Amino acid sequence: MAGELVKLLSELKEQEALNFVEKALAEGVDPMELLGDARDGMNIVGQKFATEEYFIPDLVFSGEVLKGIVKILEPHLKKDEKTERLGKVVIGTAAGDIHDIGKDLVVFMLDVNGFEVHDLGIDVPAQKFVDTIKETGSKVVGLSGFLTLAFQSMKDTVDAITEAGLRDDLKIMIGGGQIDEQVRSYTGADAYGKDAMEAVKLAKGWIGGR
């Protein structure tokens, strides 16, 4: 039976996965084991996305299936069981921009790849990034932006991080709608990623991991 949930989730079989979880719980399977399997399943989804076997809808839907599984498991889980994480990434959509689809994909991919992600949401002021970097000690920051006005907000955020004396051992990546190498150089960020897979690659390159 082990591994069945991994397969069902990674193949996006929603109803079968949910039924399986219900049944397994009733049969006394450890909910932590099921949660572990679900995580492994999501990992495979992430891998398939990285190899372009899966696309954005698959990612979004796998998140929905996972939500359903967690909802069933939640009452049976003990609190405070933390898993080992590769490192911390602070991420958010730059000030003035309220778009979140691209950012959420990056958060998802970083998460399934083992990073502890601090998602600050949308329209995030530069100071909020600075404060969160201080609080978390994160060494990687991701700035997302769909609109061209985000170019300036990203530059302002990078500048604010520098002024706060946090820039030296910190890496900043940017991405979204119209972001390219040209814009990266304008903002002073370290790298730009054209999609969520590149964000993972960049983060891994900077803080380790497979």
Partner 1 sequence: MEKKWEEMSAEEKREARFATWYAAEGVEFQSPEAEAMYKASVTRFKDTVLMEKTPDRVPIFPIGTFMQTDLYGVTPYECMYDYDKLVSTNKQFLLDYKPDYYGSPAFIGSGKILEILEFRQYRWPGHGVSKNSGYQCVEGEYMKAEDYPSLIDDPSDFWLRTWIPRVFGTLAPLANLAPLTWLWEIVAVSGLTVPYGIPDVQNALKALLEAGNEAMVWFQKIQAFEMEAKGMGFPTAMGGAAKAPYDILADTLRGTRGIMTDLYRRPEMVSKAMERITPLQIKQGVGMATMAGNPMVFMPLHKGADGFLSDEQFRTFYWPPLKDVILGIASEGCVPFLFCEGSFNTRLKYLEELPRGSCFWIFDRTDMAKAKELIGDKICIGGNVPAGLLLTGTPEQVKAYCKELIDVAGKGGGFIMATGTGMDEGKPDTLHAMIDFTREYGVYR
In the complex, which residues of this chain contact partner 1 (CB under 8 A)?
12, 14, 54-58, 60-61, 64, 96-101, 123, 147-149, 151, 177-180, 182-183, 185-186, 195
Least CB distance from residue 56 to partner 1, whole Å? 5
Tokens of 62: 């796998």
Spell out a b/e string for 108-123, using b for 16 or more CB atoms within 10 Å of the CB, else e.
bbbbbbbbbbbbbebb
In whole angstroms, the minimum distance from the beta carbon of 179 to partner 1 comes to 7
Q: Which of 136/185 has CB closer to partner 1?
A: 185
What would you measure as the largest C-alpha separation in the chain, in angstroms?
Answer: 58
**In this complex, which beta carbon is closest to partner 1, that of residue 19 or of residue 148?**
148
In angstroms, rounded to a whole number, what is the distance separating the alpha carbons of residues 35 and 104? 22
Nearer to partner 1, 27 or 52 (CB): 52
Per-residue burial over 89-100, b = 16 or more CB atoms within 10 Å of its CB, e = otherwise: bbbbbbbbbebb
The residue among 96 and 209 lying less far from partner 1, judged by its C-beta, is 96
- The nearest distance, CB 207 to partner 1, in angstroms, is 25
Give the shortest CB-86-to-partner 1 separation in angstroms: 25
Is the distance from CB of 20 to CB of 5 less than 8 angstroms?
yes
Cα 192 from Cα 180, distance rounded (Å): 7
Closest contact distance (angstroms) between CB of 194 and partner 1 is: 9
Least Å from the CB of residue 147 to partner 1 = 6
* Cα distances (Å, whole numbers) of residue 117 to 1, 8, 27, 106: 32, 26, 34, 10
C-alpha span between 26 and 161 (Å, rounded): 51
Nearer to partner 1, 88 or 99 (CB): 99
Q: Which is nearer to partner 1, 12 or 112 (CB)?
A: 12
